[in-house]
């Protein structure tokens, strides 16, 4: 029933357009209005409490109401509400943040550029990949490879890299020079009798064939999330990244690690690149960089990339990129305080102490009759719902089984996200053992209810 009167729901329908939402259905249903948060919980406008089992959008790592971040923002706003980085200007806190990020960066990364979102950081990486190859005299080496089910953002270039059809439909995407190779989703893409290692070899072979078919002199870079997040929390199969990186090195193809979801402890290390032994030329981060308290993102680059940028900007007279809010001093202050909290409270140590429990509870739910596959890494995971778990037969998308299970979680006080028929979990990094049990107890109850709904509606019938 459509909300009536001057309620928040009715005004939202009247004035606000929502992303990742069926807009017609929203006109009838309206929003769940969240009014406050505390710890790992949020509260709606009726006072009902929910555990935020997806950290908002994979991002509120320190939970809600962290006073140190509130104070950092307030102090920074009072001191310097805004400044920019154009034409040799800088703000002291932005310098501090850049230095800190480089000090904790994996591998060869040595410089930082700031933006406001993960999508912007992806777009910036695309621009720099093209700029770099022009600078080194390889103007034809411009094609970029991503992966089916990969997620890299929603702007024109970043949505093109995203390998999900609903981000392309009727937006005239993807743009040219962007391609998608095999998804490393062993559960769904592995052939019968094929081991994880054999599947990883096939993925690497597919990548090499794509590069050879396109022409190695035209292929510039590949984007990878260490663990694919919004595509369904897809964990790479054994030996996948060593084989992929060997192909990239063979054909002089740059590697971009998209750490927007993976970074800052989510996988049990500071970076997903450390968890999976990646050696990227670029690394993008956002979300947990500020625990999402203010928008900020960063793109870290290797010295090889930076030196080419220096020579090209000298030739052209300027490095022709920048944004008004990139490296905003207030957002930078909050991000810097977030990184301090991670260290002082040993957040990564905490993640390591509870991620075994997280994995055990995920695997236990994998035994549920509705669940075909349970997978996790660190404190992120997914349950893939199946019509026939033994035969790996999915439900028809039109049956909306995943959204139905998500809705039952919400009714029971747990916010998760249905990605098709995958239920994604990504609780705040501060979540403790008792809270994890609460999350999975609610999830189990909700799956039982969803299973009953499936059976009552005959959705397993041929």
Does the pLDDT value for residue 3 go beyond 90?
A: no
Q: Find tokens 């990742």 and name the residue.
A: 20
The last residue of a domain, from among 408, 423, 447: 408
Edge-to-edge strand list for the sheet holding 41-44: 34-38, 41-44, 49-52, 414-415
For residues 388 and 275, state if they share a domain: no
Share the mean pLDDT of the chain: 96
Res. 4 pLDDT band, cuts 50 70 90: low
Residue 41 is assigned to a structural domain of this protein? no
For residues 101 and 197, state if they share a domain: yes
The last residue of a domain, from among 325, 344, 363: 344
Give the tokens for residue 251.
């054909």
Does the pLDDT value for residue 145 go beyond 70?
A: yes
CATH number at residue 368: 3.90.1150.10
Residue 159 is assigned to a structural domain of this protein? yes
pLDDT tens, 107-133? Answer: 999 999 999 999 999 999 999 999 999
Total structural domains within the chain: 2
- pTM tops 0.85: yes
For residues 265 and 373, state if they share a domain: no
Residue 285 is assigned to a structural domain of this protein? yes
Res. 462 pLDDT band, cuts 50 70 90: low
Res. 5 pLDDT band, cuts 50 70 90: confident
Does the pLDDT value for residue 460 go beyond 90?
A: no
Beta-carbon-side half-sphere exposure of residue 218 (alpha carbons within 13 Å): 11
For residues 316 and 370, state if they share a domain: no
CA distance 140 to 217: 7
Beta-carbon contacts of 429 under 8 Å, excluding residues fewer than 6 positions away, are 55, 61, 62, 264, 265, 266, 288, 347, 350, 351, 379
For residues 107 and 247, state if they share a domain: yes
For residues 314 and 403, state if they share a domain: no
Give the tokens for residue 50.
């929910």
* Nearest partner of 108 among 311, 270, 304, 308, judged by Cα: 304
For residues 93 and 234, state if they share a domain: yes
CATH number at residue 172: 3.40.640.10
Average pLDDT value for residue range 27-52: 96
For residues 297 and 393, state if they share a domain: no
- For residue 311, the Cα-to-chain-centroid distance in whole angstroms is 33
For residues 277 and 388, state if they share a domain: no
Residue 271 is assigned to a structural domain of this protein? yes
Helix, strand, or coil here: 61?
A: coil
Give the tokens for residue 249.
């090195």
For residues 330 and 390, state if they share a domain: no
In terms of residue numbers, what domain contains 291?
A: 69-344
pLDDT tens, 435-457? Answer: 999 999 999 999 999 999 999 99
What is the reported pLDDT for 2?
A: 62
For residues 289 and 189, state if they share a domain: yes
For residues 107 and 242, state if they share a domain: yes
The last residue of a domain, from among 408, 429, 447: 408
Q: Are 114 and 296 in contact (CB under 8 A)?
A: yes
């Amino acid at each position: 029933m459509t909300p009536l009167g001057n309620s928040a729901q009715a005004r939202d329908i009247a004035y606000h357009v929502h992303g990742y939402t069926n807009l017609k259905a929203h006109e009838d249903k309206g929003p769940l209005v969240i009014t406050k948060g505390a710890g790992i919980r949020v509260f709606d406008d009726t006072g009902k409490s929910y555990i935020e089992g997806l950290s908002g959008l994979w991002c509120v790592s320190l939970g809600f109401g962290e006073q140190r971040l509130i104070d950092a923002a307030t102090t920074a706003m009072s001191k310097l509400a805004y400044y920019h980085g154009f034409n040799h200007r800088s703000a002291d806190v932005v310098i501090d943040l850049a230095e800190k990020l480089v000090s904790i960066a994996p591998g060869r990364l040595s410089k930082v550029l700031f933006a406001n979102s993960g999508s912007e950081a992806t777009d910036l990486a695309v621009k720099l990949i093209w700029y770099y190859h022009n600078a080194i005299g390889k103007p034809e080496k411009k094609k970029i490879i991503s992966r089916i089910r990969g997620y890299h953002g929603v702007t024109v270039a970043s949505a093109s890299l995203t390998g999900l059809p609903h981000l392309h439909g009727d937006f005239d995407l993807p743009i040219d020079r962007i391609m998608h190779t095999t998804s490393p989703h062993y559960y769904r893409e592995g052939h019968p009798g094929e081991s994880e290692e054999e599947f990883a070899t096939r993925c690497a072979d597919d990548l090499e064939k794509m590069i050879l078919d396109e022409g190695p002199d035209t292929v510039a870079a590949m984007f990878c999330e260490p663990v694919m997040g919004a595509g369904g929390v897809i964990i790479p199969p054994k030996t996948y990244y060593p084989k992929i990186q060997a192909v990239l090195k063979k054909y002089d193809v740059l590697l971009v690690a998209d750490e927007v979801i993976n970074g800052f402890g989510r996988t049990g290390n500071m970076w997903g690149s450390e968890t999976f032994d990646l050696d990227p030329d670029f690394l993008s981060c956002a979300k947990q960089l500020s625990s999402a308290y203010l928008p900020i993102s960063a793109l870290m680059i290797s010295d090889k990339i930076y030196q080419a940028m220096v020579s090209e900007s000298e030739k052209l007279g300027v490095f022709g990129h920048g944004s008004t809010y990139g490296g905003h001093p207030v957002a930078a202050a909050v991000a810097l305080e977030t990184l301090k909290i991670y260290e002082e409270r040993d957040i990564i140590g905490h993640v390591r102490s509870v991620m075994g429990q997280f994995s055990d509870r995920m695997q236990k739910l994998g035994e549920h009759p509705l669940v075909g596959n349970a997978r996790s890494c660190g404190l992120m995971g997914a349950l893939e719902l199946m019509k026939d778990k033994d035969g790996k037969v999915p439900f028809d998308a039109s049956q909306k089984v995943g959204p139905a299970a998500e809705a039952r979680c919400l009714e029971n006080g747990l916010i998760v996200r249905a990605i098709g028929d995958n239920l994604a979990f990504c609780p705040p990094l501060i979540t403790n053992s008792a809270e994890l049990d609460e999350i999975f107890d609610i999830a189990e109850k909700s799956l039982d209810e969803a299973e009953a709904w499936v059976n009552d509606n005959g959705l397993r019938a041929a």
